[in-house]
Amino acid sequence: MAKLETIEKHLAQLLNVDQFSDYCPNGVQVRGRRKIKRIVTGVSACLELFQAAADQEADLILVHHGLFWEKDSRIIQGSLKKRLQILMKHNLSLMAFHLPLDAHPKLGNNAQLLRRLGIHEKKPFGFYHHQSISFMGRLDEARSMGQLTRRIIKKLHAYTPIILPYGPKKISRVAVCSGGAPELIREAKEKGADLFLTGEANEPLYYFAREEKIHCIAAGHHNTETLGVRALGNHLAQHFKIEHAFFDSRNPL
């Protein structure tokens, strides 16, 4: 068992939360139970996750995308009200870590993506407010676009990726930024990447990849961000000797 405040302090230090300028609160968002024996993790705060955590008699829910964002309405209604009702009914605590979790060099979404795909020699990549939130590196061996696409589909369970195959025949250098970061393809090209891997695509991405001759794969916002929160939950389970279960909502986007 661990105290909620102890876990919060540990994660704030581990993830260097104070170093980031984010557009959502990082840390505890709802204070429910203070004594934590069981954690359920998931990518995004949603009814499905909250109900699963309640069914598993969790004490704490840990997510990457929390309930509160700076541009959201401050009126408690609709789905936000329903989500809060579940948390209150079951006295569940909720924590969220956004950019600090993307950026962590071992447990973060992007570091975990590189490890899963066999990308080494990682260097800082993906700057937001003068802070690097991601990495780029080199594959264990040069691969074709087809080979790397199959690896990404298998390792990330990304069965419907958007594939823009306009780079070199062999891929060695890969830049990665999980979630919604299509604009970072420009930085990837400037830094010599053969392929840029992200979660979401937008319309200009197609023209840039084609005209600048760089490969791009958008493997899904959700799919590219399951690894970090799962790794963080496993870390907490080991560090504090508590139970951890990851819940995957199977979001196709």
Tens of pLDDT, residues 167-180: 999 999 999 999 99
For residue 88, pLDDT over 90 is answered with yes
pLDDT tens for residues 179-216?
999 999 999 999 999 999 999 999 999 999 999 999 99
Residue 217's nearest CA partner among 246, 168, 177, 190 is 177
Q: What is the pLDDT of residue 128?
A: 83
Those residues with Cβ within 8 angstroms of residue 16's Cβ, 6 or more apart along the chain or in another chain:
100, 104
Residues 102, 228 contacting (CB under 8 angstroms): yes
Instruction: Give how far Cα 175 sits from Cα of 56, 126, 191, Å.
Output: 38, 9, 9
Q: What is the mean pLDDT of the chain?
A: 96
Residue 179's nearest CA partner among 96, 108, 131, 117 is 108
Half-sphere exposure of 4 (CA within 13 A, CB side): 19
Residue with tokens 């020699």: 121
Half-sphere exposure of 235 (CA within 13 A, CB side): 17
pLDDT tens for residues 105-143?
999 999 999 999 999 999 999 988 788 999 999 998 999
For residue 159, pLDDT over 90 is answered with no
Pick the CATH number of 2-98+226-244 from 1.20.120.1730, 3.40.1390.30, 3.40.50.620, 3.40.190.10: 3.40.1390.30
Residue with tokens 């508590």: 242
Q: What is the pLDDT of residue 196?
A: 98
CATH topology of domain 103-224: 3.40.1390
Q: What is the pLDDT of residue 44?
A: 98
Does the fold of domain 103-224 match that of domain 2-98+226-244? yes
Q: Is residue 69 very low, low, confident or very high in pLDDT (cuts 50, 70, 90)?
A: very high
For residue 155, pLDDT over 90 is answered with yes
Domain boundaries, the chain: 2-98+226-244, 103-224
Q: What is the pLDDT of residue 129?
A: 78
Residues 53, 247 contacting (CB under 8 angstroms): yes
